[in-house]
Structure formats: structure tokens, C-alpha cells
Structure 1
Amino acid sequence: MLQDKVMAMNQIRSLRSLILSKETVRDVGRRSFATGPGKAKKGGKGGAASDAPKASSLTKEAKSTTVVGANILKDGADPKVLLDSEYPDWLWRLLDKRPPLSELRRKNIETLPYEELRRFVKLDNRARIKENNSLKAKN
């Protein structure tokens, strides 16, 4: 019994020294980066200071009347928000749920509208190509 306690105390001491050595290795191995004037190049790699998000200087009115961040041109300006009637009809159907291939296969192909028929052909071709590729990969 006494011998077990002594062994346990010795193991605790060795663990403490191991923990201390890991902490010192971690502290010694810690890398610090040079900062301050003259240390970092302007426009160089790793520009963490310049990549930080900046506080918006736009007013609430400007945010509600323009599409902020949509400008892709160097000298351009953000586009203005238009009325819903001024946008094309297809834009409002972009997020509609479309039936998956399994559901399109269950329907009668002859009665499908043109857009769904096109989608069926595309998805069916894609599925056949994947199946053929998997069969070739097994051989």
C-alpha cells in the first residue's frame, strides 16, 4: 500500500516536470512577427492590417438605395436599386425548387415542359457519364 502511494507520487512528479517542459518548449517555439513602422512592406504578402474590415462610412439612405459591393470596375460606382418591375422575370424564379432527376424520371417525358425536358436530358447524361466512369474505374 505504501509502495503504491510512493509510485503514484513519483509519477505525479514526473508528469509535473513533463508539463513544465512542454510549456517551456511552447513558449520557446512561439513565433513572433515584426510589426511597426519600417518593418512591414506596403502592399506585400500577408497584409493583415490592410485586410481588416473597415467601418462603413455610408449612410443608411445610401445603403438602402445602392447595391453596396456590387461594383466590379475599378472606376465604377455601385449600381442603384431598381423597382421590382424593372428586373427581368427569370430573376425571381432563380431560387425556386426544381425537381430532382428521380422525380423527372417518374414523369411522362412527352408531357414535360421544354425547360424541364432540357434539365432532364442534362441530368440524365450526367448520371450516365458518372455510372460509366465508375464502371471503368472498377476494371
Structure 2
Amino acid sequence: MIHRPLLFLAIAIVSLGFTTGAAFAHHGWSWASDEQIELTGTIIEARLGNPHGELTLDVDGTHWTVEVGQPWRNDRAGLEQGDLAEGVEVRVLGAPSADPNEKLLKVVRLWIGDNEYTLYPDRV
């Protein structure tokens, strides 16, 4: 018979494996298609920070979740505090989710007005 502390530890380890696996699968490019598309929309929500920033864009009435870079990558591209804020219109180029029903895009390059910001130069 397994002692309760060992059973609890085993369940915790297995549970942790499931949650970290899901998080790992989401990050990177494995979930994205090989094609690139362009969207233009207005930021209705911005969550910037680690592990990467996310914007919610209103694109002609459809809400897209748009992944931008980590804070250091956004800084390196030239983005400044307040550039990615609610109400700002942006044009983005990136890889959409391989699941066509999921409105999710990983940004490679974006434009705010006439200013261009390249987040992933090796993907352009």
C-alpha cells in the first residue's frame, strides 16, 4: 500500500507534467502554420510582459489574439512604452494558428502608422 505523502507527491508530479507540457506546446512556433498573413485592426486589450506580449485586436468585428515578442524583443525592434496600447491601430504580419478556427497569430513584423517594427528578422 502507498503512503499518502507518496501518493500526493506522485499525483503532483504527474499534474505538473500535464500543465507544463501544455504551456510548452503553446510557446514557440509549433502551433503556427507555415504561411503568413496580414491583419489590420485596433488594439482593444494589451497584456505585455513575459513570456511574451499578447494583444487582442478587433479586425472588422472579429477578435484576434496576437502574440508579440518578449519585452526585450519588443525593445530591440524599437517599440516604446505606450506604442502597443488600447485604441492604437496596427497592421501585423505573422503566422496564424494551424487550427483555422482559432483566431491566433504570432507576429513577425508590425506597423503603427508609417513606423515598421521587425520582431523576428529571421522569419520575414
One fold, TM greater than 0.5? no
TM-score (norm 2): 0.27
TM-score (norm 1): 0.24
Normalized per residue, which structure has more strand? 2
Bigger CA radius of gyration? 1
